[in-house]
Amino acid sequence: MACPRFQRLSASLLEISPRKRGPVQITTRSFSSSTRRLATLGLDALDKSKGYVLSQKLASKFQTVVISPRNYFVFTPLLNSAAVGTLEFRNALEPVRNRRRPNVEYMQAWADDINFSAKTVTVEESVVDQRTGKGGILSEPDPYRNSSLTDMKMEKFGKRREGKRFEMSYDKLVVAVGCYSQTFDTKGVRENAYFMKDVGDARRIRKRVLECFEIASLPTTAESLRKQLLRFAIIGGGPTGMEFAAELSDLVHTDLCRTYPRLAPMVRITVHDVAPKVLSMFDEKLARYAMTTFQRQGVAIKTNSAVSELRRGLPDTNGDGSAEQVADAQGCYTLTTAEDGDVGVGMCVWSTGNMMNPFVKRCLRKTQRLPSSSSAIIAPDSSPPTVETLPSREWMIESHPRSGAIVVDSHLRVRLHSQPTSTATTTTAPSPTASTPPPPADTAALADVYALGDNAAMANANLPATAQTATQQAVWLAKTLNNGNGNGSGVADKPFTFRNNGIMAYVGNARAIVDTPGKGTPDISGRSAWLVWRGVYLGMSVSWRNRVLIPTYW
């Protein structure tokens, strides 16, 4: 006889009819007739602490459904340490499914479209990798799933088969699909660069570093190729790129120098940044300290250095572009800059900011007729939220002019801007006795749709795209929804306010920099800042398993 718990779980799974084509309606288990469903799209903008806030704290008041192609939360600040082996990959992960959170539904799928008027989400399954024919859970989502596949992937895997689609209704929606790595359409970057967005990226980087050393240690490897194998390039002088350079330098000087004593002196680590200085968001004194620390470790930093191309193979020394340059490269790449020309590198890690998710771009291009019978719009920044009594008209989601992110009001509600009407304006003079209706509002906000993290930008505030911003947004949103605010109930709620807790970065050799906000608060650098850096990230770990394992590996 089946276990009762298994029967309850089975009853909550999706029932999809394979005979029907296109989206089909699905049902999940309901807690009660009064319980409303809150759907969270994506986990990319949520590290494991923020994801726990939204999934666990809201589960008591809402039927919480998480839709993401990734079945785990990622704590991105620890990915650099995991990439070089300082920590294990599981230390940066927390599973979405947890027996301590039985009220949280999870669907491993892609959010394909949103109908704000009908309050439904079109979802596409992503459990089976159709391109490779392998079943089971995907190790990581394809970062270019919603964009055109590269010729290399098309040749290797063939055209991606579409998964089954279904529609899910919601009462409240949180959009947190995150961003992809910004490539600025640099030739060859998408195909050949290594990124640092997920555990799969960290795993590939670790594998490639060890591969470069193993190939370089072979007696059949030419000296010129050996030098290029041991040359590592990091593109981007922000905290992520500089922290990876520091972690890689520590790996070479503390571990690999003992394992490969002949090769360690040949290692070259170079950071390229198009800006005139790196770590520009830090205080000038702290940035100079970081530069000095990197120079002592032998890490070269090249500012005002723009990358124009990254291609497979060695630099074309023969000038004929022969295929032998690629075949004999042992996985090396050629990095092209205006200052240095073609330079052979064993690996290129790309960390130059965020690019908006194609899913968000697609939603921004669509028009929605609102308000509808099921979806209300409100005046932006209103508290308590007042439902607008406007006639139905066409609206579009407002996008940030620079980043392309979804614009939200002070309560994290998605803002709308009106579409011009297609009918021509009449030139007939109005009757003096006729009452002139008020002009339609140019902006509004969706009453039950929120956005936070990297894919959101506040209309009246320029917030940094950091983990602490999204953390504070998630905490504020969870408290607001649990208190019954933000739902048109007439209960006033305070707008979201960001509290700057400072920024910090690891610079290698057990040293870090901590930039504290406000006047009168001293900035910290050196080993004391390194202890603060580790203490903060250890405190942000959620499970006791990681709270014990992380200091053990450190």
Mean pLDDT per 10-residue section of the chain, whose length is 554 residues: 39 38 48 71 59 57 87 90 95 82 82 93 76 45 42 45 86 92 94 94 97 97 95 97 98 96 97 96 96 97 97 78 61 94 97 90 87 76 58 87 92 86 38 43 87 92 87 87 61 81 96 88 93 92 87 92
Residue 392 confidence (pLDDT): 78
Q: Is the peptide bond before 239 cis (omega within 30 degrees of 0)?
A: no
Non-local (6+) Cβ contacts of 163 within 8 A are 109, 110, 124, 125, 126, 128, 130
**Domain 189-352 is in which class?**
alpha beta
Non-local (6+) Cβ contacts of 199 within 8 A are 72, 74, 79, 82, 89, 92, 93, 140
Length of the chain equals 554
Distance (Å, rounded) from C-alpha 309 to C-alpha 350?
Answer: 12
Distances (CA, A) of 236 to 122, 240, 298, 367: 36, 8, 18, 36
User: What are the two backbone dihedrals, phi and then psi, of residue 62, each rounded to the nearest 5 degrees?
Assistant: -130, 155
Residue 551 confidence (pLDDT): 93
Pick the closest to residue 370 from 338, 352, 350, 397 (CA basis).
397
| HSE (side-chain half, CA atoms, 13 Å) at 108 | 17
pTM: 0.84
- Burial label for 521, CB within 10 Å (0-12, 13-18, 19+), is exposed
Q: Which two tokens stand for residue 138?
A: 């995907």
- Write the DSSP symbol of residue 387: B
Helix, strand, coil proportions of the chain in percent (round to 5)?
A: 30, 25, 45
Cα separation of the two ends of the chain: 47
| HSE (side-chain half, CA atoms, 13 Å) at 112 | 16
Distance (Å, rounded) from C-alpha 418 to C-alpha 550?
Answer: 50
Residue 155 confidence (pLDDT): 42
Q: Could you give the 3-state DSSP secondary structure of residue 422?
A: coil
Distance (Å, rounded) from C-alpha 257 to C-alpha 522?
Answer: 37
Q: Which CATH number fits domain 33-180: 3.50.50.60, 3.40.50.720, 3.30.1300.10, 3.30.56.10?
A: 3.50.50.60
Domain map (residue ranges) of the chain: 33-180, 189-352
Distance (Å, rounded) from C-alpha 42 to C-alpha 176?
Answer: 5
In this structure, are strands 62-68 and 393-397 parallel, antiparallel, or unpaired?
A: unpaired
Q: Is the peptide bond before 371 cis (omega within 30 degrees of 0)?
A: yes
Non-local (6+) Cβ contacts of 271 within 8 A are 233, 234, 235, 236, 237, 241, 242, 245, 278, 294, 299, 300, 301, 302
Residue 178 confidence (pLDDT): 87
| HSE (side-chain half, CA atoms, 13 Å) at 205 | 29
The secondary element (H helix, E strand) that includes residue 481 is helix 467-482
Distance (Å, rounded) from C-alpha 11 to C-alpha 192?
Answer: 44
Pick the closest to residue 170 from 135, 208, 120 (CA basis).
120
Non-local (6+) Cβ contacts of 403 within 8 A are 354, 356, 457
Residue 455 confidence (pLDDT): 92
Q: Which two tokens stand for residue 482?
A: 């649990």
Tell whether the torsion through CA atoms of 511, 515, 520 and 521 is positive or negative. Answer: negative
Q: Which amino acid is at 189?
A: V
CATH topology agreement for domains 33-180 and 189-352: yes
